[in-house]
Amino acid sequence: MKLLKQGAEAKIFLDGNSIIKERISKSYRIKDIDKKLRLYRTRSEAKILDKCSSIINVPSLFNVDEIGMKIKMEFINGKLLRDLLNDLNEEEKKEIFFYIGNEIAVLHDNNIIHQDLTTSNMVLFNKKVYFIDFGLSFISDRVEDKAVDLHLLKQALNAKHYLYAEECFDNVLEGYRKSKNYSKIIERLDKVERRGKYK
Ligand SMILES: Nc1ncnc2c1ncn2[C@@H]1O[C@H](COP(=O)(O)OP(=O)(O)O)[C@@H](O)[C@H]1O
Ligand SMILES: [Mg+2]
């Protein structure tokens, strides 16, 4: 097994065609709480990943190990959108972000809030975008949670891809038009953003 990434919360191993995401313990947390938190997040991520697999492109879930705090899933052998964005032409960018907006609409219509929509959590493979990292995701039908989900993506684009952030996010919103509650959520997004400015 090869260690691919070491994040703040988890280690990512590559094992053949599988990814193993192992939640590591944090010494600064009380032991009992640490264990509960890792178990909760492991279970929750696996559950939501599984729920997503019938509605959008995500890695298939292979196995959940609640003792080892590990999730085994399909390895999407593509490129992170983060690393690819600079090489895309206008037309490709437009198409990809429109598609991302479509996918977020599907997630939200199913009351799934990703909560960490960044270009590091999107893998491009076979001309399709795969969403990964459901570690912070939760189920909610609240307009507020959906608006904040979009807002976090906008912020992430601004932080990492300043030059294209605006056009990319405009295309996300175009794709998001197909959401059941489009107008309400966009209205709320506007409020969320104005609120942010005066924080
Ligand atoms: N199923 C997967 N297929 C391909 N790469 C993955 C997969 N899961 C994780 N990765 C890689 O590992 C990185 C970290 O995984 P992620 O689930 O986002 O954990 P973290 O919570 O540390 O951000 C991703 O940005 C991606 O590069
Ligand atoms: Mg991630």
> Where residue 61 sits, what CATH number does that domain have?
3.30.200.20
Domain that holds residue 21: 2-74
Q: Give the type of residue at 110.
A: N
**Which of 57, 74, 91 marks a domain boundary?**
74
Residue 130: give its domain's CATH number: 1.10.510.10
- Measured distance CA(124)–CA(188) in Å, rounded: 30
Residues 6+ apart with CB under 8 A from 93: 85, 164, 167, 168, 171
3-state secondary structure of 167: helix
Cα angle value 175/181/185 (rounded, 5°): 80
pLDDT band at 196 (very low <50, low <70, confident <90, very high): confident
Of the candidates 3, 2, 67, 11, the one whose C-alpha atom is nearest the C-alpha of residue 39 is 67
Which of 74, 100, 121 corresponds to the end of one domain?
A: 74
The span from the CA of 3 to the CA of 20, in Å, is: 9
Q: 8 vs 171, which has greater pLDDT? A: 171
Of 116, 133, 145, 190, the catalytic one is 116
- Residue 150: is its pLDDT beyond 80? yes
**146: nearest Cα among 115, 171, 100, 168:** 115
pLDDT tens, position by position, 36-88: 999 999 999 999 999 999 999 999 999 999 999 999 999 999 999 999 999 99
Residue type, 141: D
CA 45 / ligand 1 centre spacing (Å): 12
Tokens describing residue 27: 């010494």
- Amino acid of residue 188: R
126/173 same-domain check:
yes
Q: Is 190 a catalytic residue?
A: no
Contact 45/56 with Cβ under 8 angstroms?
no
**Per-residue pLDDT reduced to its tens digit, 85-106:** 999 999 999 999 999 999 999 9
Residues near ligand 1 (Cβ within 6 A): 4-5, 7, 9-10, 12, 19, 21, 59, 73-76, 80, 120-121, 123, 132-133, 135
Cα(162) to ligand 1 centroid in Å equals 23
Q: How far is the CA of 133 from the centre of ligand 1 (A)?
A: 6
pLDDT at 198: 61
Tell which one of 133, 134, 160 to mutate to probe ligand 1, the residue whose CB is within 8 A of the most ligand atoms.
133
Ligand 1 pocket mutation pick from 2, 6, 21 by most atoms within 8 angstroms of CB: 21
- The answer on 169 and 100 residing in a single domain is yes
d(CA 40, CA 136): 11
